[in-house]
């Protein structure tokens, strides 16, 4: 795919301009009060997901037959589930699964969406028309319903949930990148590059993509939280992560059936809530940093 070249060429740009910009974005996020809170939440989550093996007091799939549906105590901090598994450990390992799915899905939709958007916006004419009608058609589906349909076709598992979430989010990226590309394409420096005989690939990679990528990243961080909700909803319905792999959505679905065990439906939900909150805070802050006009 051409997009692989696109990103790698812009990474190798000798001017180091993009690096300075990402650093600026990170600094801006940290200076933003709510953005900093979001960064901290996300950092903790990443640490938890990476270090679940050491942090978890129990094996997340180990069954303690004598401790079924135990309320939270000093041994099982979040209690145990209907099979006698430690919920605290399962929530920690659930972070790993959820973050993996979300990161991979958003990255995939970003890459495909950006490729479609760049091609569409730069090539114009019938290519643009065709690609955009397909994107419009996909966008007409409610995200969750389309994800359900895709998982139904591919079969319920982790990888397919990831693909479904990626497909659902692709049109948004494509539209955004296309719109920006249309504007940038007409700017003088791009016209100049074209006049000097630069190839379309070079123009897109060196001139168009770098000036579009900032907004794409912000959009990506805003989409990450929606992706997490979709992932949990799929798992909740039993169409995402399959047991015994711990997943927050699936834990909620089983927890719902055990009304006497409140801890089964409180802690996994709280985990989803905090993660979405953190991602939303970062997304909002990133938007403020990139576009000062929206600052409130």
Residue closer to other proteins, measured from CB, 180 or 231: 231
Dihedral sign, CA of 145, 148, 152, 153? positive
How crowded is the C-beta side of 68, counted as CA atoms within 13 Å? 5
Q: How far is the CB of 148 from other proteins (least distance, A)?
A: 6
Residue closer to other proteins, measured from CB, 121 or 249: 249
Instruction: Output the CA–CA distances (angstroms, integers) from residue 9 to 84, 114, 206, in the order listed.
Output: 52, 15, 7
Q: How far is the CB of 93 from other proteins (least distance, A)?
A: 19
Residue closer to other proteins, measured from CB, 176 or 233: 233
Residue closer to other proteins, measured from CB, 184 or 264: 264
Q: How far is the CB of 113 from other proteins (least distance, A)?
A: 17
- Angle between helix 2-11 and helix 209-236 axes, rounded to 10 deg: 120
Q: How far is the CB of 161 from other proteins (least distance, A)?
A: 13
In the beta sheet, which residues pair with residue 86?
80
Rounded distance between C-alpha atoms, residue 195 and residue 34, angstroms? 45
Q: Are 42 and 279 in contact (CB under 8 A)?
A: yes
Rounded distance between C-alpha atoms, residue 227 and residue 82, angstroms? 28
Q: How far is the CB of 135 from other proteins (least distance, A)?
A: 9
Single out the residue of 222, 232, 237, 230 nearest to residue 164, CA to CA. 230
Q: Using CB under 8 A as the criterion, which residues of the chain lie in contact with other proteins when the complex forms?
A: 133-134, 136-138, 140-145, 148-155, 225, 229, 232-233, 236-239, 249, 252, 255-256, 259, 262, 265, 269, 272-274, 276-277, 280-281, 296
Q: How far is the CB of 106 from other proteins (least distance, A)?
A: 17
Residue closer to other proteins, measured from CB, 56 or 276: 276
Helix (H) or strand (E) holding 276: helix 262-290
Residue closer to other proteins, measured from CB, 162 or 212: 162
């Amino acid at each position: 795919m051409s997009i692989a070249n696109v990103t790698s060429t812009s990474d190798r740009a000798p001017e180091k301009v993009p690096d300075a910009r990402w650093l600026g974005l990170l600094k801006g996020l940290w200076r933003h009060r709510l953005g900093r809170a979001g960064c901290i939440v996300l950092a903790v989550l990443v640490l938890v997901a990476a270090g679940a093996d050491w942090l978890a007091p129990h094996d997340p799939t180990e069954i303690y037959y004598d401790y079924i549906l135990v309320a939270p105590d000093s041994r099982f901090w979040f209690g145990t589930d209907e099979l006698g598994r430690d919920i605290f450990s399962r929530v920690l390992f659930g972070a790993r699964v959820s973050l993996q799915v979300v990161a991979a899905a958003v990255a995939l939709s970003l890459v495909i969406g950006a490729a479609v958007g760049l091609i569409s916006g730069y090539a114009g004419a019938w290519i643009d028309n065709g690609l955009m009608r397909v994107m419009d058609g996909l966008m007409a589906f409610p995200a969750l319903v389309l994800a359900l349909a895709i998982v139904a076709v591919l079969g319920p598992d982790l990888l397919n949930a990831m693909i479904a979430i990626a497909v659902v989010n692709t049109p948004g990226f494509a539209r955004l990148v296309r719109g920006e590309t249309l504007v940038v394409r007409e700017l003088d420096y791009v016209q100049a590059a074209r006049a000097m005989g630069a190839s379309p690939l070079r123009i897109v990679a060196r001139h168009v993509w770098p000036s579009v990528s900032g907004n794409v990243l912000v959009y990506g961080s805003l989409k990450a939280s929606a992706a997490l909700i979709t992932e949990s909803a799929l798992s909740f319905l039993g169409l995402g992560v399959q047991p015994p792999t711990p997943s927050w959505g699936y834990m909620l679905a089983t927890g719902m059936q055990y009304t006497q065990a409140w801890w089964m439906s409180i802690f996994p939900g709280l985990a989803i809530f905090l993660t979405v909150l953190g991602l939303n805070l970062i997304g909002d802050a990133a938007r403020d940093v990139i576009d000062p006009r929206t600052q409130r």
